[in-house]
Amino acid sequence: MDQQPASVIDPVQRVRIWYALLLLVFGIFAVRVFYLQVIRYDYYKKAALSDQLKQYTVPAERGIITASLGGSSVPIVMNEKLYTLYADPTVVKNAEHVAAKLQPIIGGDAGAITKQLKTSDTRYVILKKKLTPAQSDKILAFKFPGVGTEEQDYRTYPQGTLASQLLGFVDNSGQGQYGVEQALNKQLQGKPGQLKAVTDINGIPLAASANNISTQPVKGDSIDLTIDVGMQAGLEKIIKAAQEQNKSQDVSAVVMDVRTGAIKAMANYPTYDPSDYQDVSDGSLFQNIAVTDPIEPGSITKLFTTAASLQKGVITPTTSFYDPGSWTIDGSKVSDVEEDHSTGQQTILSTLDKSLNTGATWMLMQLGDGRIDAQARSILYDYFSNHFMLGQATGVEQGNGEEASGYLPKPTDTGAGIDLTYANISFGQAYTATALQMVSALSSILNGGTYYQPQLVDQITDGNGTVTKVAPRVVKSNVISTQVSNDIISLMEQNNTNHIAEGFPYLNFGPNYAVGGKTGTAEIANPLGGYYSDRVNGTYMGFVGGNTPEYAIVVYNLQPTKYKGFAGAETGQPVFANIAHMLINDFGVTPKAK
Amino acid sequence: MTYSSTLAMGRQQGVSRGQNSVSFRVTDKRLGPVSNTIVLIVLACLLGLLYLTQVTKTNAYGYQINGLQQQQSKLQQQHEDLSVASAREQSLDRVANSATAQSMTPVAPSGSVN
Amino acid sequence: MSAVPLGRRGSPVDNQSVRRHRPDYWLVILALFLVVVGLTVVYAISPALAATSGGSGAHYVSRQLIAIGLSIAAFSVTSRVPLRTWQRWQMPLLVAAGLATLVALVMPVNALYPQHRWIRLGGLSLQSVEILKFALIVSVASFLARQAASGQLNNVQRTMKPLAYMLLAVTFVVAAPDKLHGQSDLGSFAVILAMIGAMVIVIGLPMRRILLAGSILALLVTFVIVISPYRRERVTTFAHPNCLTSGGYQACQALIAVGSGGISGLGLGRSVQAYGYLPEAQNDSIFAIYAEKFGFIGVMVLLGLFVALFARLRLIIERTSDVFSRLVVVGILAWLSTQMIINVGAMIGLLPLKGITLPFVSYGGTSVLFVGAALGLVFQISHYTSFSARNVQKGGGQRTMNQPHVFSPASGRSGGTRRRPCSSVYSRYTFSQELPPGIRRNDLRLTERMHEVDSP
């Protein structure tokens, strides 16, 4: 090297310089990697997790709703996953071909489908909803670009429209609307699960990560209703027939077990199909009017007035009194609706049998000082409000604030004609109550004086299978005495017996069963003042049993237009009779002990 | 006692009088350092492979879990579909319209309004 | 101390030709380590690959195993076929590589193979540029050695021009964009440049010329970058990496993978970025996945393995007396190191992404195959390293006919001479009497002339 000119670099040196440069690069790499992995670790860890860590809500399965059928529970509301077929018209190729292949599976018109597939202003058209998994699989097997199916949860109703108004439905956002679905939405919904996990790019959770958090969804509670499916179906059939025969606006009826306050059947007609709730144009169809629509119940109220008077001791079942044909109260004449009303001696039974308004008013007077005074008013009010729980919502498991409380005027109201108002209340006008309120109050009289909260839920099964029985809830004991209870039962039975003789042979249930009732023909208040002259509601309140009453039944036949005679006797009473026959024939009412 | 060890013993004791014995060294069959190293390396490799198969796919179990979960939900779905179908089959309308129900006759009804 | 350190039967007379001795097994061991690391990573992420890019997990591992098997076969072939034969057949080899490249260029492109880089035969696909790299090393080394031997290294007409033409041809084939029906493979082009550049520098071309050629090339490369939109994008995304742009996505995800590895890494089976986030996880991005799994410590080990391997190559370069052999090793070192630097540099955000594999480690048959073949050549050459620096030193810097070295390690510095031979046990074994492939007895003239070149 010593002999070489300085300008020529020795090749060995070149290799070494090169190698040194290489090592330098390695050094730089090491420093850079140190910077990335050690100094900037937190930053990159965060950046990584912001990509990799995904959070999901795992929807909880909604609880099902069951009801009893032949001694066991059967589901009446269940869940179903169905598929919505959609397409992105901008991606779909050969729309005619696609439509031709889809049409046999989804039905409809191939031309219409083609047209939808060619929609130009959107990237999302829904071709068909509620496809079964099999249909969905078939369509997906075609692998048409731009055509897909989306899973969606639906409520499904194996019993069809059964009890739809008391059940309610579940809307698109998974919230219960109306009925039990809304009232018990929280329990039915369950608790959605959380999944926070490091996932792959497609969102599939990877196994090994300290950051993974997974809470399982808690399945919603299953609700077992007190409703008897067979009874409900029979009741619906009966009221449907009545509505069609009488051309009524609505018919609703409630059957309650007097021993527990359990609602065994509750129906209105017309009704709707909950699986097609979105097609219902008249929103009032969603309402369970037996709970939501109070009316002036009419003469069936006379049983309450009688019970209060008996309990107060101002009358006995055999008391007779002089009926002047009409009373003048607050300057107005209170008279009877019945044609054959006449002045003369009347009894409590004939008051009920002939449905004498004057008789009911007379009883109210006996509660006072022989006339309608503050004492009479407050006693009647006390019984109606604090014993029969009228004028307040029962708290049944229906809707949120859906239930109506009805209207019961206060005895202390100083407005003009409070005495006349109370005279009206005594025979069932001037106050309002729902069918459910009436049946609950009647039950308390029939069962010897215990007012149970009307109850739709029999038991609740939570996600773990733990069953909680819902015990009957006593709202008020000693509503009336047992003696008064027996008196009323006896009066109702005699009333029924009289009606058989008066031309209603269908009220004959034979000697083994105790059946009683009271008709009502209720006038309808005109919002403009006074009452309509051309429309009434036919109502009926009765019971079926053996030695003791088992079922209390209230029928509201609203604004029937096709009937002869009195609405109560001609549109309420036959519905009751059919229900009573059904209960006796099909639902094992215990006959009288021999 | 194995055959080889018997042989070995025989060899050791085999020198007896009058016999045309051939004396030979008992070759020590112990492994040398190289073979030892090789055996160790092979063992280490095997262990390493075993470890690898166990450890490498930790995250990939996510797919297995996901697959099983999907299978589970699919089966649950099927179960649900079947119970819906069964509930539909047992619905009152269907039962009332069934052939069996059609052939039944009412027994002593208490009557109704016609 | 013997004047001839290699072979106890060696005599001063035949030390012109170094005897075949024990090769450098470290080459094989280090390379195997790297290959095993790569295979392990591919194996570990195979479920991720199967899930995110389809196919079965076993597919990747088995293909890589087959590639490694072929690579070992290639290694044993190249390490046995004498270097002389390679030198003699360099032209057919280059022609074959050229043909392979042409075949790749006429292959129609598709979504899976978007550029004219692959030769596809049935299920097999070969990256033609890997063949080209291998052939170019042999060919250019042979050419330069011949030119050096005939003293025409500085001859513009006979040495510079052919080299320039060849470079131009390579540029048009490898670096030219798709529009011009090139392979648009700037990464490989850079590797080829580095290979040839390193050989040219080491053989001792005047720096002035090298620098001139370098600046012309720099201009050319700039031009290629400017006319290719996707290269422009790569350069701009390199300047501003962003996960949300399609161009910056891979670079950004690679940085996230490396950075989130931390000091000790997530663990072998716990890489997340491989699960679809980082594209080419088994291939170009394998370093980032490795860094995510094994962290800073693991990366240091991997870099250490590479440094160790490159150190062995450098030692062989310094101790190989034959010009051709040395140039071959120089080319291979340039190949492996440049490729490694470009790949790792891109993964850690120091260089723009080039779409180039990490030698030994990355999944990919062709790369593994030809890297194995190249290593075979080095392995063969490592049979013939010599320790002759002492010899030279003894001669007090005087060069004799007996000195087989092209350049003199005894450049007055003792650093190079103190090194031990590649294997410390050489002297215990004598392998054969055959001459090293680079040297024939009548090549003595050649070495003499080369001295003249080296030291005028």
The CA-CA-CA angle for residues C143, C144, C148, to 5°, reads 120
All residues at 6 or more sequence positions from A346 whose CB lies less than 8 Å from its CB, including other chains: A320, A321, A322, A323, A354, A356, A358, A359
A413 and A444 assigned to the same domain: yes
Specify the pLDDT at position C452: 34
Tell me the pairing of strands A147-156 and A72-87: antiparallel
How far is the C-alpha of C411 from the C-alpha of A10, rounded, in Å? 8
Residue B63 with chain C: CB contacts under 8 Å: 47, 51
Q: Which amino acid is at C254?
A: A
A233 and A184 assigned to the same domain: no
Specify the pLDDT at position A397: 93
Specify the pLDDT at position C52: 76
Q: B40 in contact with C at a CB cutoff of 8 Å?
A: no
- Domain interval for residue A31: 11-53
| Interchain pair B110, A156: CB under 8 A | no
If one counts the domains in chain C, the total is 1
Q: Which of A74, A506, A513 sits opposite B111 (nearest CB)?
A: A506
Q: Please check whether residue C442 lies inside any domain of the structure.
A: no
A593 band by pLDDT with thresholds 50, 70 and 90: confident
How far is the C-alpha of A81 from the C-alpha of A90, rounded, in Å? 28
Q: Please check whether residue C423 lies inside any domain of the structure.
A: no
Do the Cβ atoms of A586 and A233 come closer than 8 Å? no
- % of chain A beyond a pLDDT of 70: 97
Interface contacts (B, C; CB < 8 Å): 33
The ipTM value here is: 0.81
Query: CA A299 → CA A336, A338, A342, A521, C13, distances in Å?
Result: 11, 11, 18, 6, 141
Q: Which long-range contacts (CB under 8 A, 24 or more apart) does A29-32 make?
A: A29/C303, A29/C341, A29/C344, A29/C345, A29/C348, A29/C350, A30/C299, A30/C300, A30/C303, A32/C348, A32/C349, A32/C350
- % of chain A beyond a pLDDT of 90: 62
Backbone angles phi, psi at A255, to 5 degrees: -115, 125
Three-class DSSP labels, A312-340: HCCCCCCCEEEECCEEEECCEEEECCCCC
Task: Name the minimum distance, in Å, from the CA of B74 to any CA of chain A.
Answer: 11
B20 band by pLDDT with thresholds 50, 70 and 90: low
A575 and A458 assigned to the same domain: yes
Q: Please check whether residue A113 lies inside any domain of the structure.
A: yes
A369 and A330 assigned to the same domain: yes
Tell me the pairing of strands A65-69 and A222-228: parallel
Token duo for residue A182: 């809304």
Q: Which of C260, C307, C397 sits opposite A2 (nearest CB)?
A: C397
Q: Please check whether residue A279 lies inside any domain of the structure.
A: no
Specify the pLDDT at position A365: 95
The larger pLDDT score, comparing residue C172 to residue A184, is at A184
Query: Residue A583 is inside which H or E element, if any?
Result: helix A573-586
Q: Please check whether residue A282 lies inside any domain of the structure.
A: no
- Cα of A362 vs its chain's centroid, Å: 40
How far is the C-alpha of A105 from the C-alpha of A97, rounded, in Å? 14
All residues at 6 or more sequence positions from C423 whose CB lies less than 8 Å from its CB, including other chains: C21, C22, C23, C24, C25
Q: What is the DSSP string of A123-187?
A: S-EEEEEEE-HHHHHHHHHH--TTEEEEEEEEEE-TTTTTTHHHH-EE-TTS-EESHHHHHTHHH
- Minimum mean pLDDT among A254-268, A289-303, B27-41: which range? B27-41
Do the Cβ atoms of A560 and A347 come closer than 8 Å? no
A491 and A387 assigned to the same domain: yes
Q: Please tell me whether residue A383 adopts helix, strand or coil conformation.
A: helix
Among candidates C240, C262, C134, which has minimal Cα distance to C191? C134
Residue C207 with chain A: CB contacts under 8 Å: 9
Task: Give the residue from chain B lying closest to C39, CA to CA.
Answer: B52
How far is the C-alpha of B43 from the C-alpha of B54, rounded, in Å? 17
Do the Cβ atoms of A454 and A439 come closer than 8 Å? yes
Backbone angles phi, psi at A38, to 5 degrees: -110, -50
In sequence order, the β-bridge partners of residue A525 are A531
Task: Indicate if the pLDDT at residue A406 is higher than 90.
Answer: yes
Rg (CA), chain A: 36
Q: Please check whether residue C425 lies inside any domain of the structure.
A: no
A532 and A550 assigned to the same domain: yes
**What does the pLDDT look like over A228-246, one tens digit per residue?**
999 999 999 999 999 999 9
A62 and A137 assigned to the same domain: yes
Hey, where are the domains in chain B? 30-59, 60-92
The CATH number of whichever domain residue A69 belongs to comes to: 3.90.1310.10
Q: In what order do the strands lie in the sheet with A531-545?
A: A262-269, A250-257, A549-558, A531-545, A514-525
**Residues found in chain A:** 594
The larger pLDDT score, comparing residue A304 to residue C171, is at A304
If one counts the domains in chain A, the total is 3
Number of Cβ atoms within 10 Å of the Cβ of A546? 15
At which of A202, A220, A238 does a domain end?
A220
A426 and A504 assigned to the same domain: yes
Please give the span between the terminal C-alpha atoms of chain A, in angstroms, as a whole number: 137
The 3-state DSSP composition of chain C as helix, strand, coil percent (nearest 5) reads 65, 0, 35
A175 and A29 assigned to the same domain: no
A91 and A28 assigned to the same domain: no
Query: Chain C neighbours among B 52-111 (CB < 8 Å)?
Result: 52, 55-60, 63
Specify the pLDDT at position C148: 85
How far is the C-alpha of A456 from the C-alpha of A266, rounded, in Å? 10
Q: Which amino acid is at C167?
A: L
Give me the residues of chain C with pLDDT under 50, please: 1-16, 389-456
């085999």: which residue's tokens? B14
How far is the C-alpha of C285 from the C-alpha of C290, rounded, in Å? 9
Average pLDDT, chain A: 90
Q: Which of A1, A18, A38 sits opposite C201 (nearest CB)?
A: A18
Torsion sign over Cα A586, A588, A593, A594: positive
**Using omega within 30 degrees of 0 as the cis cutoff, is the peptide bond preceding A270 cis?**
yes
At which of A176, A192, A220 does a domain end?
A220
Token duo for residue A263: 């609602």
A69 and A136 assigned to the same domain: yes
Task: Indicate if the pLDDT at residue A485 is higher than 70.
Answer: yes
Q: Please check whether residue C210 lies inside any domain of the structure.
A: yes
Burial of A331 (0-12, 13-18, 19+ CB in 10 A): exposed
Q: Which of C40, C57, C270 sits opposite B58 (nearest CB)?
A: C270
Q: Please check whether residue A283 lies inside any domain of the structure.
A: no
A377 and A332 assigned to the same domain: yes
**What does the pLDDT look like over A203-227, one tens digit per residue?**
888 876 677 888 888 999 999 999 9
Specify the pLDDT at position A341: 58
Neighbouring subunits of C (3+ Cβ pairs under 8 A): A, B
How far is the C-alpha of C404 from the C-alpha of C3, rounded, in Å? 13
**What does the pLDDT look like over A17-72, one tens digit per residue?**
889 999 999 999 999 999 999 999 999 999 888 888 888 888 888 999 999 988 88
Q: Which residues of C touch B (CB under 8 A)?
A: 40, 43-44, 47-48, 51, 57, 267-272, 275
Task: Name the minimum distance, in Å, from the CA of B40 to any CA of chain A.
Answer: 32
Do the Cβ atoms of A549 and A543 come closer than 8 Å? yes
Token duo for residue C347: 């993964």
Query: Chain C neighbours among A 1-20 (CB < 8 Å)?
Result: 1-5, 8-16, 18-19
| Interchain pair A510, B92: CB under 8 A | no
DSSP state of C432: B
Number of Cβ atoms within 10 Å of the Cβ of B105? 4
Residue B55 with chain C: CB contacts under 8 Å: 267-269
How far is the C-alpha of A459 from the C-alpha of A310, rounded, in Å? 37
How far is the C-alpha of C17 from the C-alpha of C434, rounded, in Å? 9
| Interchain pair A159, B93: CB under 8 A | yes
Task: Indicate if the pLDDT at residue B5 is higher than 60.
Answer: no
- Domain interval for residue C258: 18-381
Backbone angles phi, psi at C147, to 5 degrees: -65, -40
Task: Give the residue from chain A lying closest to C346, CA to CA.
Answer: A29
Do the Cβ atoms of C334 and C188 come closer than 8 Å? no
Token duo for residue C430: 């004598």
| Interchain pair A11, C407: CB under 8 A | yes
**What does the pLDDT look like over A412-422, one tens digit per residue?**
887 778 999 99
Task: Name the minimum distance, in Å, from the CA of A98 to any CA of chain C.
Answer: 26
